[in-house]
Amino acid sequence: MDLEFSSFVLAAATTDLADEPAARGRADAVEFRMDLATDPLDALAGYDGRLPLVATNRPTWEGGEADPGVERVDRLRAAVDHEAVAAVDVELAALAGEIEGAVDPEAAAALVEDAASEAAVVVSTHDFEGTPHCDRLRELLAEAAAWGDVAKLAVTAEGPGDVLDLLAVTWRATTRGETVATMAMGEAGRHSRAVAPLYGSRIGYAPVDPAEATAPGQYDLGTLATLVERLQSGERGRSA
């Protein structure tokens, strides 16, 4: 299955691919959190849904539950072989070799190279402590964009100023021709998940089941789909 990021993609996050039918009509894709799933490769082998998949195997050092070693990367590589997997998420810190005890950055780079011919590559950074300075935000997006098809940046907002900084950086990166996905986690940044697409963010994430949020401040799928649609419809109306 193909997945284009020339326009906004709403991904329904889940640990159970049996949730896919519930996401149809609202989501454009399903983010399969392999690190939170039981027997994820078996689940992929049995997947017969309609929506393309974004395979994510998030390590413990970046908010997930996967061990940071080579098996995590091997599972992602195996996931890419499935026709339904249209994109794979790889952490920028793994590619940069910034995490002690994590997989060799050469192995992470090899995964990106192997996946590039079969799926889109999302290179991601998550900051659960706060929002870096604008200069650092720009650097992170530029570094991630140099590695993958989509540069994803999720930060934690402590107030409106953090959200404004993130949106400004999102707009600038988009006007430079980078394909980015940005969001501010936490209650203070929650609205960014609906607003960021207006500034160029190309991926949004929301759980099918509100009780199964995979990041702080997520809207449920139905709510985020409605908010984004209304905001984008209003923007089109003003343009007309």
Q: What is the 3-state secondary structure (H, E, C) of the chain?
A: CCCCCCCCEEEEEECCHHHHHHHCCCCCEEEEEHHHCCCHHHHHHCCCCCCCEEEECCEHHHCCCECCCHHHHHHHHHHHCCCCEEEEEEEHHHHHCCCCCCCCHHHHHHHHHHHHCCCEEEEEEECCCCCCCHHHHHHHHHHHHHHCCEEEEEEECCCHHHHHHHHHHHHHHHHCCCCEEEEEECHHHCCHHHHHHHHCCCEEEEECCHHHCCCCCCCCHHHHHHHHHHHHHHHHHHHC
- Nearest C-alpha neighbor of 85 from the set 44, 129, 131, 114: 44
Provide the annotated active-site residues. 126, 152
